[in-house]
């Protein structure tokens, strides 16, 4: 949809899809528990962001996908990323609750991926203090920690291990995430 003859801009992010079984394990963890009043991340939106572009058109998204995909293919990027989630934290952004990703593979992979994601026409919003995390929910307030001690005590003991299946370029359009897979764990583009 265009307003004032300007193309609509979207959030775009290069990210990792969750390890097999993670979303099911989160849903199983939450089942039967009284969950604090947080806007929980929908299962289909679960991902780990490596790079973020604040405002690109749908056409720019396509160009970015092609460019990064080509860069990765030429470089022969191969990966086998472990994911190790242990507990939660909420200190990265106000009002956001995260699952803590502690695998050393992911920061190293992001660093190796950086030159391939650098597209001069579309600079990404850099974060020199990158801390890998999975967004669990928004509209979180630290005051909930006291009101829901049992839930957060159990959440801090939440552990999950697996392997990252895909690197993808996501676009957020009309509240939905759409993705184009750049590479799968066995280094095959879809």
Q: Where are the domains of the chain?
A: 10-184
| b (16+ CB within 10 A) / e for 31-64 | eeeeebebebbeeeebbbbbbebeebbeebbeeb
Query: What's the confidence (pLDDT) of residue 50?
Result: 94
Output the pTM of the full model: 0.87
pLDDT score for 186 = 65
Residues 6+ apart with CB under 8 A from 98: 88, 89, 90, 92, 133, 134, 135, 136
Structure-token match 């950086």, residue found = 114
10-184 CATH fold: Cyclic Phosphodiesterase; Chain: A, (3.90.1140)
pLDDT tens, per residue, the chain with 190 residues: 455 677 899 999 999 999 999 999 999 898 877 788 899 999 999 999 999 999 999 999 999 999 999 988 888 776 789 999 999 998 777 889 999 999 999 999 999 888 888 888 888 888 778 889 999 999 998 889 999 999 999 999 999 999 999 999 999 988 889 999 998 876 444 4
């Amino acid at each position: 949809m265009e307003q004032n003859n300007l193309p609509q801009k979207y959030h775009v992010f290069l990210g990792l899809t969750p390890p097999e079984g993670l979303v099911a394990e989160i849903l199983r963890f939450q089942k039967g528990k009284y969950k604090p009043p947080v806007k929980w991340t929908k299962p289909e939106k679960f991902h780990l962001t490596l790079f973020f572009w604040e405002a690109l058109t749908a056409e720019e998204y396509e160009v970015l996908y092609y460019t990064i995909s080509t860069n990765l293919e030429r470089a022969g990027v191969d990966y086998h990323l472990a994911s190790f989630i242990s507990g939660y934290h909420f200190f990265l952004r106000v009002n956001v609750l995260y699952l803590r990703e502690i695998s050393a593979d992911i920061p190293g992979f992001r660093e190796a991926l950086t030159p391939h994601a650098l597209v001069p026409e579309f600079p990404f919003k850099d974060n020199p203090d990158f801390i890998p995390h999975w967004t669990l929910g928004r509209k979180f307030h630290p005051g909930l920690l006291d009101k829901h001690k049992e839930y957060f005590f159990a959440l801090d003991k939440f552990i999950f291990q697996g392997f990252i299946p895909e690197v993808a370029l996501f676009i957020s359009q009309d509240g939905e995430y759409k993705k184009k897979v750049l590479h799968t764990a066995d280094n095959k583009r879809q």
